Amino acid sequence: MVETNGHTSTEQAILDAAEELFFDKGYKLATTTAIAAKAGVTHAMLHYYFRTKEQIFLKVLDKNMNEMFTMLQTVMSPDLTLKEILKEVVNLHYSFLTRHEKLPSLILELAGTCPEMFHRYKARLRETVDTEVFNHRMRFDREVDAGTLNRIDWFQMMFMIVSMNLSTFLALPLMRNVFGMDSRQEAAFLEERRKEIIRTLYARLFGKGLPEESAVSQECII
């Protein structure tokens, strides 16, 4: 490793190596020894910058989550209609997962094998979500009450968006193996899936709805 800016470049090299190994091997199998070797530093040097593997991992997660929330901030504008905001939230979250498709599996591993660390990180993540995303809940509730949207719980809607996007990328390795898609076919599938998620969301929010709901009939144009 060539060090060009002292402390900063060494720390960044460690984080870059760690991110690649965490995504490739998972949290448990990515050792600090392997991270140090990939970064081109000694094991002692790695621990000079980061005392534990958990500290490195949380730093990597922070970087990825900050990237996602920075993207989402760009569409949280009162100048856009709620319909436009929801579409762009789906698009940006989906694009983020396209670039970091192994991140969902990594977080699931963390929740299953390191629950204490997951709960610590979840508290930090929830604080960010509360300030960056949930501030639109009042507007959402007003539009539901006004009949602009079908009646749906805010958390159910957010879970719907996140789960449809995440499930696509969690299932992607299976889709590759079962259907043997080449890169062109995979890109076409992912693009069509993105559109289908928006169609499904629009149908739930603006479509006919369930019989007991106050429904709004609008054409869903993507």
Q: Which residue has the higher pLDDT, 212 or 168?
A: 168
Say what the pLDDT of residue 25 is: 93
- All structural domains of the chain with their residue ranges: 1-51, 54-206
Q: Of all helices (H) and strands (E), which one includes residue 97?
A: helix 82-99
Q: pLDDT (tens digit, 9 = 90+) per residue, 167-193? A: 999 999 888 888 888 889 999 999 999
Residue 208: other Cβ atoms inside 10 A:
12
CATH number for the domain running over 54-206: 1.10.357.10
What's the pLDDT band for 118 if we cut at 50, 70, 90?
confident
pLDDT at 121 over 80: no
The H or E element spanning position 45 is helix 43-49
Mean pLDDT of the chain: 85
Burial of 45 (0-12, 13-18, 19+ CB in 10 A): middle
What per-residue confidence (pLDDT) applies to 217?
40
Rounded to the nearest 10°, the torsion over CA 173, 177, 180, 182 is 30
Q: Taking the model in full, what pTM does it have? A: 0.81
> CB-hemisphere CA count at 13 Å for 166?
12
- The one-letter code for the residue type at 66 is N
Residue 189 near residue 197, CB atoms below 8 Å:
no
- Residue 220 confidence class, pLDDT cut points 50, 70, 90: very low
What is the pLDDT, as a whole number, of residue 112? 85
- Overall fold of domain 1-51: Arc Repressor Mutant, subunit A (1.10.10)
pLDDT at 17: 98
Give me the numbers of helices (H) and strands (E) for the chain, helices first please. 10, 0
Q: How far apart are the first and last CA of the chain?
A: 47
At residue 201 the predicted structure's pLDDT band, cuts being 50, 70 and 90, is: very high
Q: Kindly calculate the radius of gyration of the chain based on its CA atoms and give it in whole angstroms.
A: 21
